[in-house]
A and B are shown apart, each in its own frame.
Chain A
Amino acid sequence: GAVVSQHPSRVICKSGTSVKIECRSLDFQATTMFWYRQFPKQSLMLMATSNEGSKATYEQGVEKDKFLINHASLTLSTLTVTSAHPEDSSFYICSARDPGSKTDTQYFGPGTRLTVL
Chain B
Amino acid sequence: ILNVEQSPQSLHVQEGDSTNFTCSFPSSNFYALHWYRWETAKSPEALFVMTLNGDEKKKGRISATLNTKEGYSYLYIKGSQPEDSATYLCARPTGGGNKLTFGTGTQLKVEL
Contact = CB atoms under 8 A, between A and B. Distances in A.
Interface string A41-63: 11110100100000000000000
A117 to B, nearest CB: 23
B74 interface: no
B99 A49 contact: yes
Contacts of B49: 103-105
Contact of A41 (B4, B101, B104): B104
Contacts of A105: 34, 46, 49
Contacts of A34: 99-100
Nearest to B3: A43
Contact of B44 (A42, A49, A103, A108): A108
B32 interface: yes
A111 B41 CA distance: 8
B43 interface: yes
B93 interface: yes
A104 to B, nearest CB: 6
A43 B43 contact: no
Contacts of B32: 103-104
A4 B105 CA distance: 21
Interface of B: 4, 32, 34, 36, 41-46, 49, 89, 93, 97-105
The 7 closest A-B pairs by CB, nearest first: A103-B49, A108-B44, A43-B102, A43-B104, A108-B43, A44-B102, A110-B43
